[in-house]
């Protein structure tokens, strides 16, 4: 039996019916070959970061167990390609970095792996068509921005508050509290709890 790894995936959307999109995305993640859905965070309404003249986002985090691959690099790469394929299947368009998103799926953590590797063609950010620098962006795990983004930390803390990700020096809960003190109480507001197949108020 192949080795299995717990991965955490960040979900975000702010175009169209974002809650319906994220609900369908959770089901799609659970249906990926070899994947087992292990947890879904609360749903959060979050303030946009970087480009602020756009609608608020809805964000969540999902925990899934996936095949580990021959090694962490191959397993994480395979998962990344699957995530980018899902983004395209949900109609995500090529847009500027930090711009609006039909669906954004970020690989936050892949077990205890620390990686900084080249992305395969199928794992390139969809913004690469508009931002040449994005095409050269490495796959970094844990996600390099996770520790400084409340829209990631708040839902991640719902699932793994005591986790100290590889390379961090604090728990997810502590990091979330630190960022909330900086970003303010309204930067990430819970608006729904997962009820097995959808979020309820």
Q: Which residue among 101, 119, 149, 179 is the active-site one?
A: 101
Please, what's the b/e burial string for 77-111 (b: 16 or more CB within 10 A of its CB; e: otherwise)? bbbbbbbbebbeebebeebeeebbbbbbbbbbbbb
Is-catalytic flag, 180?
no
Kind plus residue range of the DSSP H or E element containing 60 = strand 57-67
Is-catalytic flag, 95?
no
Is-catalytic flag, 158?
no
From the centroid of its chain, how far is CA 20? 17
Q: Which residue among 45, 67, 104, 119 is the active-site one?
A: 104
CA distance 105 to 96: 16
Smallest CA-to-CA distance from 143 within 121, 166, 119, 127 is with 166
Is-catalytic flag, 119?
no
Do 142 and 164 contact (CB within 8 A), yes or no?
no
Q: Which residue among 4, 56, 97, 106 is the active-site one?
A: 106
Do 19 and 43 contact (CB within 8 A), yes or no?
yes
Question: CB-side exposure of 158: number of CA atoms within 13 Å?
Answer: 25
Q: Which residue among 67, 92, 149, 179 is the active-site one?
A: 92
Give the residue numbers marked as catalytic.
92, 101, 104, 106
């Amino acid at each position: 039996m192949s080795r299995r790894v717990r991965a955490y995936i960040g979900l975000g959307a702010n175009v169209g019916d974002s809650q319906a999109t994220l609900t369908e995305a959770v089901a799609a993640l659970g249906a990926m070959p070899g994947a087992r859905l292990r947890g879904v965070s609360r749903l959060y309404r979050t303030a946009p970061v970087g480009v602020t003249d756009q609608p608020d986002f809805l964000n969540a985090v999902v925990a899934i167990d996936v095949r580990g691959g021959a090694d962490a690099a191959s397993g994480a790469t395979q998962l990344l390609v699957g995530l980018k394929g899902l983004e395209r299947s949900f109609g995500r368009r090529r847009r500027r970095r930090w711009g609006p998103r039909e669906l954004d799926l970020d690989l936050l953590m892949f077990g205890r792996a620390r990686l900084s590797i080249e992305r395969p063609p199928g794992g390139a950010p969809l913004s690469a068509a508009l931002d040449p620098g994005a095409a050269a962006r490495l796959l970094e795990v844990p996600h390099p921005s996770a520790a400084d983004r409340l829209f990631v930390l708040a839902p991640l803390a719902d699932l793994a508050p005591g986790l100290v990700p590889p390379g961090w020096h604090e728990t997810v809960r502590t990091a979330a509290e630190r960022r909330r003190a900086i970003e303010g109480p309204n930067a990430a507001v819970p608006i729904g709890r997962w009820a097995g197949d959808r979020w309820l108020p």
